[in-house]
Structure 1
Amino acid sequence: MANYQKINVEAKSLSNFKANSDIPAANAQTDRIDETWSGTNEQWWNWYTSLADNSKEPLNQETLIPLNEQVAPQLPSIKELQQELAEPYPISEEQIQQFQTDSYIRIKNILSPGSLSLLRQELKQLFYRHHKLDPNRKFSSMELMWQESDTVKEFVLSKRLGKLAANLLQVSSVRVYHDDFLCKEPGCGRTPWHYDGFHYPIASNNIGTFWIPLQLTPKAMGPLELAKGMELHKLVKEIPFDKFSQSHDHAIREMLQALDIQVDSEPFLLGEVSFQHCLNVHGAGANHTNEQRIAFGISYFENGSRVISSPTLISGDWQKFMPGIQPSEIISSPYNPIVYDLVD
């Protein structure tokens, strides 16, 4: 703990961080975070990724790494996809305990190459239906895509993923929070260190997220960086959050190194996914390749959970994901259906 306290003091005195210009004007008036986010969720992602300290992983747009073209697998029919997603994925007690101790788990062959290719194709079509091509955009994001696509809906509401989430969280019933299309364009920088529970406006720790990469994801492409340990978030919680600079991300990285915390930043195989607890401390590397790094996130929470009493700007446009639900109320909007219930 002595090392951590020293790092915390040093982080406060750093003055060479880039000032943040992505935060909406209404949220830039003070250094407080206990206020409502005034922008869109896309603006939230632009602001949030700007908080990553890339000083130790500098990007050079002229030397992006070319990747070999991947062979496109045969796409499944909708019926074949439904059959795959209806089949339960076997998970052992040992794996459940590993998840509960480490705060995350990586599992291979959750989804077939064909289904992942179909999902990637569908997500890109949906995204570009709403967004123009922009060579200056480095991070592309979009949520609630399952509301617009029957194909995406098959994944988000699947019993295969819902039951697996419930088993790992050790709860009897789960609902969807929301989905995420997360695309790091070539040359996009890091995702800052964080734990999702700091962001979620949900008064429960029984929340987890599947991170599903939609291509082979080598280290150069920026896979997730998952710190091991369910209690690590307590140290991160004590580090002051600065909404204007990269000091928070820098301090967490220094703390992880000083305490010699094990970080899993291995490449992801096609079909391999991670499921991280909302208390897992994680980030993601920069995309040093000439290809898009596309991942799809799906977050589930324990049925019966409530909204926290006072959501902040850290939660972004949270009411977009649970319309009509107010602070302190039980979350049960049409956007948060039950996807698995042990009783059924």
Structure 2
Amino acid sequence: MSTVDVRQLPDLSSDYPLSPAQIAQYRETGHILLRGVCTPEEARVYREVILDATMRNNRETRPLEERDTYGKAFLQVMNLWSGDEGVKKFTLARRFGHIAAQLMEVDRVRLYHDQALFKEPGGGHTPWHQDQFYWPLDTPSTVTMWMPLVDIDATMGSMSFADASNANGFIPTPNEISDESEQFFGDYVAEKGFKVSGGGAMAAGDATFHSGWCLHRAPGNTTQRVREVMTVIYYPDGTRIAEPKNEFQKADHQVWLNSIAAGQVADGPLNPVVYL
């Protein structure tokens, strides 16, 4: 548990209103980059909290050369908010939930889970994939916030997206994030002629938001600095649980959704309302 005084952490409850043009852009492409979602000072303070929690909870100790493609992509530590009051204040922030609500065009938003994604120096690429491949949620309207806690650019692994690739929902593939998904979806993006955008520089506190069905990837980290990123996943309140379609969704159903029966509302103890 962090020793930080939570009362001294910056308040993240203020609104971040989006324009109709920004909402339309997200609706059209399935993703959007928003500048200054956190101020530089807010990003600095919460970076210290999230970095501390991530390092305390990280269980990956193998050198990069001993890991598979997924393992080389990043250190991944999930659900930090449930064990750290400082991270909780970040993950459950009303400001972020409000942005998610605007993009999904709903009134109430729940948390699915958070995860730190730290791409180490020399860390590998993150293959093409769809996030919602892993989630047994019966809705097309999920959104992930991806926020760097340090300044980044393409040499550190900033994100690229296939514009409008979310339009048809799930793209049938048996492959999780892997070399196979990189090949399969790389060919798919080329075949469909999707424009690939993003991948540029982001300041600490900027954030991308993308649909759960939007194809995305990131290159490796060729620098000597860690790409420190925090992500938070949201879905509309009232969403029901789908019958799990693969082993990953079965695991998520147990871990994040409290094994609530398929067809019931996804409102377990780890899925609080973060905006209403």
Establish whether TM, by shorter chain, passes 0.5. yes
Q: TM-score if structure 1 supplies the norm length?
A: 0.70
- Any conservation in 2 of the 1:101–1:230 contact (CA below 8 Å)? no
In structure 2, distance between residues paired with 1:134 and 1:154 = 28
In the other structure, the counterpart of 2:69 is none
In structure 2, distance between residues paired with 1:129 and 1:310 = 31
Pick from 36, 42, 48: which aligns with 1:115? 42
Question: Which one has a bigger Cα radius of gyration?
Answer: 1
In structure 2, distance between residues paired with 1:231 and 1:309 = 21
Pick from 25, 49, 52: which aligns with 1:98? 25
In structure 2, distance between residues paired with 1:199 and 1:340 = 24
Secondary structure in 1 matching 2:10: helix
Asked if 1:326 corresponds to 2:253, the answer is: no
Change (3 A) 1:297 1:167: same
In structure 1, distance between residues paired with 2:124 and 2:155 = 11
Pick from 308, 321, 324: which aligns with 2:242? 308
Identity %: 26
Asked if 1:335 corresponds to 2:270, the answer is: yes
Asked if 1:128 corresponds to 2:55, the answer is: yes
CA positional deviation for 1:251: 2.5
In structure 2, distance between residues paired with 1:259 and 1:228 = 11
Q: Between Structure 1 and Structure 2, how many residues are aligned?
A: 263
Secondary structure in 2 matching 1:206: coil
In the TM superposition, what are the counterparts of 1:182-201 in structure 2 within 5 Å? Answer: 182-201=117-136
Q: TM-score if structure 2 supplies the norm length?
A: 0.87
In the other structure, the counterpart of 1:279 is 213
Secondary structure in 2 matching 1:186: coil
In the other structure, the counterpart of 1:248 is 181
Opposite residue 190 of structure 1, the aligned amino acid is H
In the other structure, the counterpart of 2:195 is 262
1:214-255 per-residue CA deviation (whole Å, 9 max, x = no partner) reads: 111111101111111155555x714x4346962332132133
1:84-139 per-residue CA deviation (whole Å, 9 max, x = no partner) reads: x1110121111111111110110001101222122222222222223468361543
Pick from 47, 68, 81: which aligns with 2:10? 81
In the TM superposition, what are the counterparts of 1:132-171 in structure 2 within 5 Å? Answer: 134=61, 136-137=63-64, 138=72, 139-171=74-106
Secondary structure in 1 matching 2:138: coil
- Any conservation in 2 of the 1:232–1:281 contact (CA below 8 Å)? no
Secondary structure in 1 matching 2:106: coil
- Any conservation in 1 of the 2:163–2:196 contact (CA below 8 Å)? yes
RMSD: 2.4
Opposite residue 150 of structure 1, the aligned amino acid is E
